[in-house]
């Protein structure tokens, strides 16, 4: 298996622009997680899905952030409008039932 795939790997955008991050989980996995990692705040869970249904979005910073999972093989995390403080590395991870999570390589987002 190719593992968790994220795109793009790097994104540089200007403040106010819409940003869409994409994730393809490992085939057969039924959980999908979105994390954000910064030096100041460490690793934060933003939202997670089970069988394509959002279970807990309490970590989503504010209404500018939204996430969707239209099917078992694809998820998006959208930021609109983006702000410089959103600059971070965003990770997607997937897992099967209650087994360990597998992380993608991350998307490094820079908002200028």
Partner 1 sequence: GNSVTQMEGPVTLSEEAFLTINCTYTATGYPSLFWYVQYPGEGLQLLLKATKADDKGSNKGFEATYRKETTSFHLEKGSVQVSDSAVYFCALSRETSGSRLTFGEGTQLTVNP
- Phi/psi of residue 39, each to 5°? -65, -40
Q: Which of 1, 62, 63, 100 binds partner 1 (CB under 8 A)?
A: 100
SS3 54: strand
Nearer to partner 1, 15 or 55 (CB): 55
Beta bridge partners of 25: none
Structural tokens at position 16 = 């106010």
- Binding to partner 1 in span 11-40, by CB under 8 A: 31, 33
CA–CA dist 11, 27 (Å, integer): 26
Q: Among residues 4, 60, 77, 88, which is the contact residue for partner 1, using CB under 8 A?
A: 4
Comparison of 70 and 99: residue with beta carbon closer to partner 1: 99
User: Binding residues for partner 1, per CB under 8 A?
Assistant: 4, 31, 33, 42-43, 45, 48, 50, 55-56, 91, 93, 95-106
């Amino acid at each position: 298996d190719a593992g968790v795939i994220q795109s793009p790997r790097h994104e540089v955008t200007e403040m106010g622009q819409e940003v869409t991050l994409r994730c393809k989980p490992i085939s057969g996995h039924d959980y999908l997680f979105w994390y954000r990692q910064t030096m100041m705040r460490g690793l934060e869970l933003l939202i997670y899905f089970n069988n394509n249904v959002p279970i807990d979005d309490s970590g989503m910073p504010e209404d500018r952030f939204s996430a969707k999972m239209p099917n078992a093989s694809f998820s998006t995390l959208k930021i609109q409008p983006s702000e410089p403080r959103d600059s971070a590395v965003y990770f997607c991870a997937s897992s099967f039932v209650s087994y360990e999570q597998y992380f993608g390589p991350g998307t490094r987002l820079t908002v200028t």
